[in-house]
Structure 1
Amino acid sequence: MTTRSTPQRTGLRVLCFVALAVIALIPWFSSQFVLHLAVLAALNVLVVNGLALVSRSGQLSLGHAAFMAIGAYVGVLASQHMGLAFWSSALAGTVITAIVALLLGWVILRLKGVYFVLVTFAFGELIRLVLLDFSGITGGANGITGIAAAEFLGIVFDTRAKFYGLALVVALLSVLIMHSLFRSPLGHAIDSVADNPGLAESTGLSVHRLQVFAFVGGCAMAAFGGNLLARYIGYISPESFNTSISIGLIIMLVIGGRQSTWGPLVAAIVLTPLPELFRGAVQTQHIFYGAALILILRFLPGGLAALPDTLCRLVTRRNS
């Protein structure tokens, strides 16, 4: 049975890498609209990877978009008012967000289950209200306009094609980092905390510290993604990072696969174009998301990323 399944899995992996190559090349020869969707998909990969890191420690954040907002606003304001270059301002936004996540996570990660979810939801709303109220700094409901394009090594990423190259590299790096992390002892420790925190604690692991590490790392990835989004769109406002964004990220995580490093990539490719397909029919979009979640949770709990292995097992079982 093993000898039959191995070639099938190898073939599926080859198909995945071919698909990645096609994804990387097609937008360069496509319309500006397709290129725009490709940029958003690449940014979603980065942010959902951050949420996946938090999730694999056994928690689920309903305020993930708030950390995107902190990273975006801090980075943009540091660039506009302090004259910092793109990477310096992006680093500043990411570090400040990581510090906020550390202080918040150290306190609220003592909470479990729905209590943690509710606190992260409240934190997300708090950040949105702060951005609205401090209009002298954040622009309030009008947001911040005229955000300069990203620039690195003399290259100004002021076109969709150029920015797609940047976003794709960052997205693939995030996938590789997650893949390497969860093949390491640290990643196995994080997974063990989610599977059985009591057993992990009894073996000498610090459940709280591991969850704080995952929370800070995931929020830092969201912050960098928010900063890139601000540079790409050229405009941010509190509504750019509201609770519906966090819910959309959770849907991507679940449909893609919470326990797979490929899940965010698959989900971003499949789900990012959907709002455009359902433009003018928001209720239909919500119905589709609801039906997709029910079907995934019932028949494919590992998400779309687990579909190749599931098909492989079915084929092997039929041939055996």
Structure 2
Amino acid sequence: MTTITVAEPAPIAATLRELSYAEAIREALRQEMRRDPRVFLVGEDIGVYGGAFGVTGDLVHEFGKERVRDTPISEEVIVGLAIGAAITGMRPVAEIQFSDFVTLAMEQLVNQAAKMRFMFGGKIAVPMVVRLPGGSGTGAAAQHSQSLEAWFAHVPGLKVVLPATPYDAKGLLIAAIRDPNPVMVFEHKLLYRTKGHVPEELYIEPIGKAVVRRAGRDLSIITYSVMVGRALEAAEQLAAEGIEVEVVDVRTLRPLDEATIVDSVRRTGRALVVHEAVRTGGFGGEIVARIVESDAFDLLDAPIRRLAGRETPIPYNRTLERSVVPQVEDIVAAARALVRE
């Protein structure tokens, strides 16, 4: 019998409170900065202003401007500073105000941070974190609403993490800070105000381990980030129709937990891959390929389907914005159709 993990991983300590996603990130930063003097923050307006989304909050008042460093409006400066600090023994956590602007630092991330450990034969490490608020839903239009995670998942040497819950936002960020490699942490902007149980104690969620959020027998929905909540809501609606959906939260794209994904598809015989990023070149294609290349392919009762963002920049108009990104009703319709094939 295959053992599966359902919903949140069991906390390692008894103390549970409800925090928002943003508060969980801030607590992770605070606890790691208290624990390790090498950890420091760098980014635009992260000090007294507290960050564009208020995530860094009042940390500057506890740790001072040396460890909560405001920078010029230059993503190249932010990432370059982080790389230099990391290879000399520090543990920088860089914030890119909107993930879209990381495009200005692609050379440093892809050609420098990702390659250094390999090119120096493992003699140096690059223990840095890049926090990336991303995604649509806030009316921020085409240049401030993209989902670019697949770009970085393509690069060996970078780790890519997308927490979907406050619990994971804290546990995965702590794991990222302690990792000896550069880790890209994508935080969906719509998740910052969502709330969930978060232990006060320090804990780590492993990078590279997916989790089954809901068990089911008829269909596996494989997803991550903001789409996890939408998939769970869709699963509840489908349950009322007698369709039991299993929801797999991938959590990290690189490394990818292929085993959990494949095990789920083996059980259900159907797979729907859902993400906000556009379909072409989206990470969903990689997930589909992994399933096809596995022994689960022979157990499929229907073709694997993808549900993704439309092939267009994100519109400013709220109604149009909503229409180009999968919503709960879209997931319900796609899942219902797949089960009936």
TM class, shorter-chain normalised?
Answer: under 0.3
Higher strand share: 2
Greater per-residue helix proportion: 1
- TM-score, normalised via structure 2 length: 0.26
RCO (CA 8 Å, sep 6+): is it higher in 1 or 2?
A: 1
**TM-score (normalised: structure 1):** 0.27
